[in-house]
């Protein structure tokens, strides 16, 4: 009986110690700075008071860690597109000011947010006025980029088998933010966002460091990709 207890006690200690010794090397993340560096570079690439769209957990949580724990770039509002399919998160973007950062402008009421659902949807053409003072810094002096007083864009939405388009809740949120931002805040998509999350805005974007910076310069991206 005593021998059995001794064997059981030894097993309780030996198995965890053996697992620790065998697996520590492959599971140790103490010197893995890739998430920290990536998140830091992402935040520091944003202009002041920017809105940054991210895709999911892996590209969002390191950003929140740096903002919440280390106080890095708390002026940047992170808009997680996966969570943008939930009403509670959309309300947080619209109504809360974490660390004094500005609310994300939306015309949706809280009641309208609660009623948002994925639905068949034919996108309309959006026209966003582009003031000269907005255009000038974005053009970066490139002669190939001609000033246009407005940016016209039809959201590129996913399709079902018969060819009809539909909008996810996150698509409505992105359209609402872009439409109501009125050039007041820089808007970025993280490079971790796939094209289908950008609802056609990737055709109006230029690559800026780690980010796709939303602007009117469609020809820039074609020029730089050559």
Residue with the bigger pLDDT between 30 and 62: it is: 62
pTM for the structure as a whole: 0.79
Rounded Cα distance, 23 and 20, in Å: 5
Say if residue 41's pLDDT is above 60: yes
DSSP 201: G
Query: Which pLDDT value is given to residue 219?
Result: 36
Measured over the CA atoms of residue 185, residue 187, residue 190 and residue 196, the dihedral's sign is: positive
Q: At residue 79, what are phi and psi to the nearest 5 degrees? A: -115, 100
pLDDT digits 0-9 by tens, 57-97: 999 999 999 999 999 999 999 999 999 999 999 999 999 99
Query: Which pLDDT value is given to residue 81?
Result: 96
Annotate 111-140 with b (16+ C-beta within 10 A) or e (fewer). Answer: eebeebeeeebebeeeebebeeebbeebbe
Average pLDDT over the chain, rounded to an integer:
83
pLDDT digits 0-9 by tens, 108-160: 999 999 999 999 999 888 888 878 777 777 666 666 667 777 777 788 898 89
Query: Which pLDDT value is given to residue 141?
Result: 66
């Amino acid at each position: 009986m005593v021998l059995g207890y001794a064997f059981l006690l030894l097993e309780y200690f030996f198995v965890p110690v053996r697992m620790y010794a065998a697996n520590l090397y492959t599971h140790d993340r103490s010197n893995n700075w890739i998430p920290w560096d990536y998140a830091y570079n992402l935040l520091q690439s944003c202009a002041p008071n920017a809105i940054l769209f991210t895709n999911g957990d892996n590209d969002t949580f390191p950003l929140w860690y740096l903002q919440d724990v280390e106080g890095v770039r708390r002026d940047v509002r992170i808009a997680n597109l996966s969570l943008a399919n939930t009403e509670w998160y959309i309300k947080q973007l619209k109504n809360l000011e974490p660390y004094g950062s500005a609310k994300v402008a939306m015309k949706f009421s809280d009641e309208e947010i609660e009623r948002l659902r994925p639905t068949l949807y034919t996108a309309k053409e959006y026209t966003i006025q582009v003031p000269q003072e907005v255009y000038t810094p974005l053009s970066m002096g490139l002669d190939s980029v001609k000033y246009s007083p407005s940016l016209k864009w039809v959201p590129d939405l996913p399709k079902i088998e018969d060819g009809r388009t539909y909008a996810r809740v996150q698509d409505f949120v992105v359209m609402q933010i872009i439409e109501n931002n009125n050039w007041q805040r820089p808007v970025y998509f993280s490079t971790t966002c796939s094209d289908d999350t950008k609802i056609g805005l990737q055709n109006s974007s230029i690559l800026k460091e780690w980010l796709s910076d939303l602007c009117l310069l469609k020809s820039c991206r074609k020029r730089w990709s050559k």
